[in-house]
Amino acid sequence: MTTQQLIEQIKIKKSFLAVGLDVDLDKIPPHLLELEDPIFEFNKAIIDATHDLCVAYKPNIAFFEAYGIKGWMALQKTINYINDTYPDIFTIADAKRGDIGNTSSMYAKAFFEDLNFDSVTVAPYMGKDSVEPFLAFENKHTIMLALTSNEGAFDFQTLLVDGKELYKQVLETSKTWKNSENLMYVVGATKAEYFTEIRKIIPDSFILVPGVGAQGGSLSEVCKYGMNDNIGLLINSSRGIIYASKGTDYAEKARAEALKMQQEMAEIVRLKF
């Protein structure tokens, strides 16, 4: 999917919501555990109930890997289901990968070719040659960690490097990399006040924003400081939507939570376009 197609979907759906699929067998409705593939069945119901309210799904790869081969099979079924049934949805493999060049190439192959995701999250610590193998893919997107939503973001990301925070250095340096037009960034919703400065460095890039909901970030604050002319934000909510109920009504309740967010977003999109 191209960036322009993503922007079109935001306009059509009046939504810039990404739904995070962090499926924990201890948290899903217990009646699903009797099924052959509870993770996929849970995802499928959530997707069917929310696909018109969001523009993206973000499977969190850790939650699939934790269940070994069964988890990986559920991941493959989930991404295939989205791609086959709702091809206008933007898909994000939240994997936070990054390694030396020949190894990053294999990760890129895993997520872009084998699983056919539109995008993958990557970590910047290993620098240019760890990210460029992802950027080399046409019409695929690489979403690099800049300033994350967790407390540990203050351990290294906000340290001053030549008088400038490390995450700003990451933004500025990565802009110079080959095919950097395919780069998006992760900035946590819990750090809304930082968006003004971030937008000065990357005015046009899409930003994936985790941390609304369970982690405490505010949608309106993020929009106030982080939006650009194309909205330029993908706001992710995982637990707040998918675990809205532990009963048989979980998909319905997930839709209700997603609808609340979409309605708030619709007001914002209407003002913009």
138 lies in the site for its own copies, by CB under 8 A = no
Q: Which stretch binds its own copies (CB under 8 A): 1-9, 30-38, 63-71, 84-92?
A: 63-71
60 lies in the site for its own copies, by CB under 8 A = yes
* Contact yes or no for 170/180 (Cβ under 8 A): no
| Assigned token pair, 4 | 């322009």
Nearer to its own copies, 15 or 157 (CB): 157
Q: Tell me the site size for its own copies, rule CB under 8 A.
A: 60
Least CB distance to its own copies at residue 77 (A): 10
Distance in angstroms (rounded) separating the CA atoms of residues 27 and 39: 11
Q: Which stretch binds its own copies (CB under 8 A): 36-44, 47-55, 59-67, 216-224?
A: 59-67
Distance in angstroms (rounded) separating the CA atoms of residues 232 and 168: 18
Residue at 121: amino acid letter: T
Least CB distance to its own copies at residue 61 (A): 9
Q: Which of residues 209-228 bind its own copies (CB under 8 A)?
A: 210, 215
37 lies in the site for its own copies, by CB under 8 A = no
- Alpha helices (runs of H) in the chain, residue ranges in sequence order: 3-13, 38-50, 61-65, 68-85, 101-108, 128-135, 153-156, 166-174, 195-201, 219-226, 239-242, 250-272
Q: Which stretch binds its own copies (CB under 8 A): 5-13, 28-36, 98-106, 252-260?
A: 98-106
Query: 53: helix, coil or strand?
Result: coil
Q: What are phi and psi of 252, to 5 degrees?
A: -60, -45
Q: Which stretch binds its own copies (CB under 8 A): 39-47, 50-58, 84-92, 110-118?
A: 110-118
Distance in angstroms (rounded) separating the CA atoms of residues 19 and 190: 17
| Assigned token pair, 116 | 């056919």
Q: Which of residues 8-27 bind its own copies (CB under 8 A)?
A: 22, 24
170 lies in the site for its own copies, by CB under 8 A = yes
Distance in angstroms (rounded) separating the CA atoms of residues 235 and 231: 11
Let me know if 13 is a catalytic residue: no
151 lies in the site for its own copies, by CB under 8 A = yes
Catalytic residue among 11, 96, 128, 253: 96
Q: What are phi and psi of 231, to 5 degrees?
A: 75, -65
What CA–CA distances, in Å, run from 58 to 3, 174, 209? 17, 23, 11
- Identified binder of its own copies from the candidate list 160, 181, 203, 248, rule CB under 8 A: 160
168 lies in the site for its own copies, by CB under 8 A = no
* Contact yes or no for 22/238 (Cβ under 8 A): yes
- Identified binder of its own copies from the candidate list 12, 30, 31, 65, rule CB under 8 A: 65
178 lies in the site for its own copies, by CB under 8 A = no
State the distance between the two ends of the chain, measured CA to CA, in whole angstroms. Answer: 21
Binding site for its own copies (CB under 8 A): 22, 24, 60, 62-63, 65-69, 71-73, 76, 94, 96-104, 106-107, 109-110, 114-115, 123-131, 145, 148-157, 159-162, 166, 169-170, 173, 210, 215
Catalytic residues: 96
